[in-house]
Amino acid sequence: MSEDRLFERWRRAPEILEVRDDPSHVDGDTGTLRQGYEVALSSESIERLRTGYLCLRCLEPQSEPFPAKCGAWWCTYAMKTEQAADFARRFKGQKIIGPSTSMEEELDRLDDTHERRIHVPGLQILIPRSIKVEKGKLTATGRLHGPSS
């Protein structure tokens, strides 16, 4: 790997997936309750935090792991002495962000919603595509479909 590609790899910004307000944040310096935030990061960004390649305070990428202080001119966080302990204390684990349904279930739900929107009221019965109906077999309503005998 060339030196330029290595340089670009460590410089890459962290992948932030979600940011939420945390009204119950307690200031570590003063112990007072104040408005804070929770940040959800990608697994790779979490690993970079854990190994000292991202500053825990400002998320600035670092060229070497756990420098004495963060390399950003505006941040004075003592990464070497504080980051590992702060990470262990602050890290709340991993969680899945996104829908809890599978892609197939989500597409079925969208099909059903679309059919309801284009349905013209009348004598028709709307049966969602997600319900499988074969001719001559009983449905959930107990009625027969297909040719009557």
**CA–CA dist 79, 65 (Å, integer):** 9
**CA–CA dist 79, 68 (Å, integer):** 6
- Kindly report the pTM of this predicted structure: 0.54
Task: Quickly count: other Cβ atoms within 10 Å of residue 44's Cβ.
Answer: 10
pLDDT digits (tens, 9 = 90+) for 2-49: 555 555 666 788 888 888 887 776 766 676 776 777 788 888 999 999
Tokens read off for 60 = 């600035």
79 to each of 11, 15, 49, 67, 148, how far by Cα in Å? 17, 20, 10, 6, 79
* Residue 135: per-residue pLDDT: 66
| DSSP label of 119 | P
